[in-house]
Structure 1
Amino acid sequence: MSTPIRRRQGFTLIELLVVIAIIAVLIALLLPAVQSAREAARRSQCVNNLKQIGLGVHNYHDTWNLLPPGENYGGLSPHLSILPHMEQQALFSAFNTGINNGGGLWTFAENFTALRGRVATYSCPSEVYSDRASDGYDTWAANYAWNSGTWWPRTQSWDGVFGRVMNDGDPALQPFSRAEISLAKINDGTSNTLLVAEVAAGPLVSSAGRTRVSDCYEVRGLTRTSTVDQATAAANAIDWARGPIAWAGGWRYKGYPWVEGSIWRSWFNTILTPNKICATMDDQSWWYIMKPASSYHPGVVNAALCDGSVKAFKDSVNQQVWMGLSTRIGGEVISADSY
């Protein structure tokens, strides 16, 4: 008597759909964890970058007994000044720093090759605009900006940790002398004073779509005597998706080029707390800019203090605490649990 042969049955359509659904659920559960792990790794690298920058500043100070020169339109940024103290002597030497026509050494053909050099330490891994500019000058941005203090027009004082070199051409201001500052002049204490913080770079091309974090927008109704509350309210009211970009759509290259020392390219101030919208009074130029620290890390920006330590500051940090952390001689009493 022959034994009947049983045929092996395959998956039914319903079973196949169930398996696919289970796989989809697993992916949905795992994907946020993977993305979170990747962001944690990027943030860790960002912290390490800031530690290296802080070390470079301290090495510079050990050599010259001064911090690098401060805000200086057309002149050198601290990014460039500290290169020899970050094992980047070859790149620093490639720049001809002895030429300047008031527009910046980066405008000279002799420096075009050096401008293409990239310092990986100056780039946050979470940055969106991480390539070279594709129009204008062929150069990189820096994602880390230097502490210029509260806000120049309101305080009439360059109260950060770097001495200002010149007045950016504002006819209402008196010329500044070259006045580098030593760490000993930071009366508020190096552990209570910001040195350098993240600032998201601007779009690489003038035709790029506008963004909340990277662009800078015109804000109406502010004056040099505007209060912190007025400035914050005006910045919060900006309709960034439709409102005018600062300077009629020009000057979008925030952070470009990294070698140039103007506030637009290399500095931040604290009249606005982290990740507020960058704003400028009406259509005025960069000496009236409110340029906050900013990043693509969810809810925080990383910043190095003058003692070389690095901390994450929440977007919700108290306004007065944030401003107090940016002054070198403000006398504010700030405890570690304030932020």
Structure 2
Amino acid sequence: MRASATRRGFTLIELLVVIAIIAVLIALLLPAVQAAREAARRSNCVNNLKQLALASMNYHDVNNVFPTQIGSPATTPTPAAGYGPGSPSDTRVSWLMQILPQMEQMPLYNAYNFSWASTTDSVWNSPRNTTVLFTKVSTFICPSYAGDATQIQKGDYVGLAAPLNGAISITNYKGNLGDNNTLYSSPAGFANNFGDPAAGTTQPTARGMFWRGTMAVGMAAAVDGTSNTLLAGDAMPLDRSFLIAPFTSWADSNQAVAVTSIPINWKYTPANISVTTPDSSYSFRSNHSGGVNFAFADGSVHFIKESISPVTFRALSTRAGGEIISSDSF
């Protein structure tokens, strides 16, 4: 009887070599896969900002101004000046809230009580508006952001009674307040952190496209050119462990803007920030490697590197600063 042929299996060394080869291939492919995923997230971020820019421009078509940052939607501006008044009431309604109808979010917009105001709460933190305030709007969240999509709201202004407690939905995108200095820190910029009008005047000092004031900017006010003026950009919240309350509610006017007096992706440490440090709440930052996506007032979206000159960055945020900015400088 003929003996069967002996079958030879893999030796341990051969198996280890194969495993090592597979491990090397995975190590080589993983960065490429991660880079492809981030490229997709960054592309989706661009789409979000494009939607916000187009919605703002559609709002402008109806109202002749971009949204105001306080009060009800703005009315027709003075043609020569390019500005328009908003409501005189301090309801702190953000520009993001006001463009909801242009984003096909009319049911959410209609659910918001714009008229409520009292000595104990305002519309932005009223329990009467919790349905809207607790609603997450996906367009306001950058795909590269992996943190919490809510914040525990805390009262922050004198005159308001007990704060609204709850998980307020946040935004990763903030409007361009301008190059205003945040007062609590040292970066160069225009004085007056929120851009409120100086005593005895009606013109806000903020030089961007949005500010905490009862007036609104029309395209005619962007004399530097809408293609050279920032509208909004990535503004990721800092690590929650650094702050008691991240200032990132999408519905509140004070929490939906940022400034360019703080460099892009400015690095912080727990030692130099606190809940009262506006740097931690009003800076443009992202999880995209090397910079931040920005929508411009003409509706275009560009990636601005964190290595941009601080002078150029601040110049891009002013609507009428008179700066000459070449396209290859950002």
Aligned partner of 1:144 among 151, 165, 173: 173
What displacement does 1:108 show?
1.9
2: CA distance, partners of 1:278 / 1:291:
13
Alignment of 1:308 onto 2:307: no
d(CA) in 2 for partners of 1:77 and 1:290?
15
Inter-partner Cα distance in structure 2 for 1:68 and 1:120: 20
Structure 2 partner of 1:77: 94
Corresponding residue for residue 260 of structure 1: 252
Q: What amino acid does structure 1 have at the position aligned with 2:142?
A: C
The C-alpha deviation readout for 1:244-270, integer Å capped at 9, x for no partner, is xxxxx53x3131x210011xx211111
CA contact (8 A) 2:274 2:280 kept: no
Q: Which runs of 5+ in 2 are unaligned?
A: 72-89, 154-164, 184-188, 192-204
Q: 2:313 aligns with which of 309, 318, 322?
A: 322
CA RMSD of aligned residues (A): 2.5
1:112 aligns with 2:130: yes
| 2:146 partner letter | V
Q: Please give the alpha-carbon distance, in whole angstroms, between the structure 1 residues aligned to 2:273 and 2:69.
A: 26
TM normalised by structure 1 equals 0.76
> Given the superposition, is the C-alpha separation of residues 104 and 13 from structure 1 closer, same or farther in structure 2, using an over 3 Å criterion?
farther
Residues 45, 125 of structure 1: 8 Å contact kept: yes
Paired AA for residue 257 in structure 2? W
- d(CA) in 1 for partners of 2:296, 2:104: 21
Identical counterparts, % of pairs: 39
Residue 130 of structure 1: CA displacement? 4.0
2:41 partner amino acid: R
* Greater CA drift, 291-300 or 149-158: 149-158
CA deviation string 1:268-300 (max 9, x = no partner) = 111122101369999794678783210000111
Give the aligned partner of residue 86 of structure 2.
none
Aligned to 2:241: 209
Q: 2:2 maps to what in 1?
A: 3
Determine if contact 1:162/1:181 at 8 Å carries over to the other structure: yes
CA distance in 1, matches of 2:104, 2:61: 15
Corresponding residue for residue 27 of structure 2: 28
**Which among 181, 186, 206 is matched to residue 158 of structure 1?**
206
- Any stretches of 5+ residues in structure 1 without a counterpart? 166-177, 211-248
- Asked if structure 1 preserves the Cα contact closer than 8 Å seen for 2:258 and 2:282, the reply is yes
Partners of 1:106 and 1:112 within 8 A in 2: no
| Cα distance in 2, alignment partners of residues 84 and 290 from structure 1 | 27
- Residue 93 (structure 2) pairs with residue 94 (structure 1): no
Counterpart of 2:144 (choices 119, 126, 131) is 126
Check whether the contact 1:123–1:130 (CA below 8 A) recurs between aligned residues: no
Offset at residue 101 of structure 1 (A) = 3.7
TM-score by length of 2: 0.78
Q: Could you tell me how far apart the structure 1 residues matched to 2:250 and 2:306 are?
A: 25
Task: Tell me the SS of whatever aligns to 1:133.
Answer: strand
Q: 1:338 and 1:71 mapped to 2: Cα distance?
A: 34
Corresponding residue SS for 2:294: strand
Deviation for aligned residue 1:148: 0.6
Shift of the alpha carbon at 1:77?
0.5
Structure-2 residue corresponding to 1:223: none
Q: Contact 1:146–1:196 at 8 Å: present in 2 too? A: yes
Q: Residue 49 in 1 paired to residue 48 in 2?
A: yes
Distance 2:241 2:94 in 1: 28
Higher RCO (C-alpha under 8 Å, 6+ residues apart): 1
